[in-house]
Structure 1
Amino acid sequence: MPPIYARRVLSRRRVLTAAAGTSLLPLVAACSPSAGTLDPDQLRIMVPNAAGGGYDTTARILAGIVEDEGLGERPEIFNLEGASGGAGLARTVHERGNGDLMMMMGLGVVGSLHTNRAAVGLDEVTPVARLLSEPEIVMVREGSPHRDLASLVKAWKRDPARLRFGGGSLPGGPDHLATHLLAEAVGIDPREVRYRVYDGGGPTLAALFTGRIDAALSGVLENIDQVRAGAVRVLAVTGDQPVPGIDAPTLRDAGVPLGFANWRGLVAPPGLSPRQRDRLADLVDRVHDTSAWREAEQANGWTDDYLTGSAFGRFLMVESDRVGDLLDRLGV
């Protein structure tokens, strides 16, 4: 089974264009108070969920690099929760012409637009850049009887209704999709999966430690400290390559024909002028070019998956269609 998205290796573009279907209104943007020169100390990055999760940590790493590498004043990070990212996307669309705002997003936001039937769409924002991809990890608590993926799958297939899985994303998000795709790949009807939703990685780990769930699929970044401390046992990683520092095979190496990756990127409000788009693109380009960003990728198990401008906009449209089709096919 192919990964949830097809990776594309494209050269970086310095100039961003809007996604297909996004209307640019330069005259409106020019009248906006944010339409002038990008003042780095005014730049804000919205995180559309709670502090401490993957979006939040990625945004704060990026902001720190902006400051530490002398690229500008540290951008302000703020959290706007609601509708699994839908509230943040609606706010971004509402900020038409504001060139001092970006929103961190990823696969979870795409899924939420389908499951919540959002009134706004990805074709209404300005695509800035896809930054990275990140695999999920299949994990159990250290005291679990399952010491490898084969043991977990055997128990799961024997009684699908008995094994309880958890994750920090709602239907359509990465944890949810990875769990149900794993079930499908090992021959279990995805509709039989017992999947419990928790509000992020922390509550998911708490449920795992207290035995409320038997296994969890979640992102590397949110769990790396617990993995390194030996508090959880990783049975497999869902990406195409092993993750440095995590002693676990890929799903394919463990005999399961599945590859899956989450991703994160940045979008901005609609109606930006070419100058506003260029300035945001240039800042993200310069962050991406630093050794500090490469070190962050390595430390957090990320894969560089940089894609900018209109190419990223086309990816968003393809990804939205793909997630909708997956939800329909999985019956979830």
Structure 2
Amino acid sequence: MAVALAGALMGAVPVFAQDAPQLEMFVPAAPGGGWDQTARTMEQVLRKEGLISGAQITNVGGAGGTVGLPQFINQWKGRPNALMVSGMVMVGSIIANRSPVSLDQVTPIARLTGEFEALVVPAASPFQTVDDFMAALKADPAAVPVTGGSAGGSDHILFGLIGKSAGVPATSLSYVPYAGGGEALAALLGNQVAAGISGYGEFAEQVKAGGLRVLAISAGERQEGIDAPTLKEAGIDVELFNWRGVFAPPEVSDEDKAAMIKLVETMAASDSWKTEAANRGWSEILLTGDDFATFLAEENKRIEAILKDLGMAS
């Protein structure tokens, strides 16, 4: 794979088109969520740029990626043409679920994108503002179920931080986790929950269609094209930025690791990727190889401290 990739990046042939198979992408989440969107966008851009002949995407959802991670570690090890999409959600879920496996056992390739989170409600919700939502949460937390990704992930963390700002302990909050964004969206549109939290991109289409309404976003400042205040503007001193990235399996050679890093760097530099990222509201925060590994170690400590503070980890 490394030989094919090196030749391709010099303009010889498309990556994987001749002596290597197509790219294999592992998504440890159900279809429809942010990791799945990232994998499918990568496949689209890499093909468009002539960097691969195609990609096989495998979804294994559950528990913030901790159901799929052991499979990637044990069954995909050594594969030179494979990438797993993951991110901040998995860091939190590994801690919250006391997972016996961790991201230390895979090969960091690149942090790709960052995305702020959105607090949304169904169009028919009585909550017109964040103040309405917070008043109800303070009055009876159990009566305000909020859906999002898996327990301990970024959505759950944000809800915990919002609750903490209102003096509501995390253990009193009613959080309804789902393994994939599609399931959480269905619960929202079916009025089965009071609100939802996820990356804005996962809600954008339904917000534009009028099915959902954004109460607030977790960004540091207002975002163009989104008619909603930041949480801080609404008096909630919380800001959160969710990141996503890719990992190779364990036991890949240094040559194959370098080839995968080069592949992702080439993709990230393309106009096609930049256009897709902008259209989806993804901030480009590329960090590769050893620098990404250093970031991961620091991120693990940060998330563990937050989860302990919120009572979500021991």
Q: TM-score, with normalisation over the residues of structure 1?
A: 0.84
User: Does residue 1:135 correspond to 2:116, yes or no?
Assistant: yes
Separation in 2, partners of 1:88, 1:312: 21
Residue of structure 2 equivalent to 1:116? 97
Q: Deviations over 1:123-173 (max 9, x none)?
A: 121110000111111111112122111221122223323222222x22211
1:1-332 matched pairs, under 5 angstroms: 37-38=4-5, 40=16, 41-94=21-74, 95-167=76-148, 169-332=149-312
Separation in 2, partners of 1:205, 1:63: 24
Verify the 8 A CA contact 1:35 1:98 in the aligned structure 2: no
Which shifted more, 254-263 or 195-204?
195-204
Which shifted more, 302-311 or 320-329?
320-329
Q: Secondary structure at the match of 2:224?
A: coil
Q: TM-score, with normalisation over the residues of structure 2?
A: 0.88
Q: Secondary structure at the match of 2:152?
A: coil
- The 3 A distance-change label for structure 1 pair 293 and 36 is closer
- The 3 A distance-change label for structure 1 pair 82 and 160 is closer
Verify the 8 A CA contact 1:243 1:301 in the aligned structure 2: no
- The 3 A distance-change label for structure 1 pair 320 and 87 is same
Verify the 8 A CA contact 2:86 2:247 in the aligned structure 1: yes
Q: Secondary structure at the match of 1:178?
A: helix
Verify the 8 A CA contact 2:61 2:180 in the aligned structure 1: no
Letter matched to residue 82 of structure 2: L
Which shifted more, 271-280 or 231-240?
271-280
Verify the 8 A CA contact 2:23 2:81 in the aligned structure 1: yes
Separation in 2, partners of 1:52, 1:166: 15
Number of residues of Structure 1 aligned to a counterpart in Structure 2: 298
Verify the 8 A CA contact 2:62 2:150 in the aligned structure 1: no
User: What's the RMSD between the two structures over aligned residues?
Assistant: 1.9
Letter matched to residue 190 of structure 2: T
Separation in 2, partners of 1:207, 1:72: 37
Separation in 1, partners of 2:71, 2:187: 32
Separation in 2, partners of 1:36, 1:68: 21
Q: Secondary structure at the match of 1:276?
A: helix
Q: Secondary structure at the match of 2:85?
A: strand
Verify the 8 A CA contact 2:64 2:151 in the aligned structure 1: no
Separation in 1, partners of 2:130, 2:29: 31
Q: Secondary structure at the match of 1:135?
A: strand
- The 3 A distance-change label for structure 1 pair 54 and 283 is same
The unaligned stretches of length 5 or more in structure 2 are 6-14
Deviation (angstroms), 1:305: 1.3
Deviation (angstroms), 1:324: 2.1
Letter matched to residue 185 of structure 1: S
Q: Secondary structure at the match of 2:68?
A: helix
Which shifted more, 309-318 or 38-47?
38-47
Separation in 2, partners of 1:96, 1:144: 47
Letter matched to residue 135 of structure 1: F
Residue of structure 2 equivalent to 1:9? none
- The 3 A distance-change label for structure 1 pair 208 and 92 is closer
Verify the 8 A CA contact 1:133 1:264 in the aligned structure 2: yes
Separation in 2, partners of 1:226, 1:249: 18
Separation in 2, partners of 1:158, 1:119: 38
Q: Secondary structure at the match of 1:46?
A: strand
Deviation (angstroms), 1:88: 2.8
Deviation (angstroms), 1:76: 2.1
Q: Secondary structure at the match of 1:161?
A: helix
Separation in 2, partners of 1:270, 1:203: 31
**Greater RCO between the two (CA within 8 Å, min separation 6)?**
1
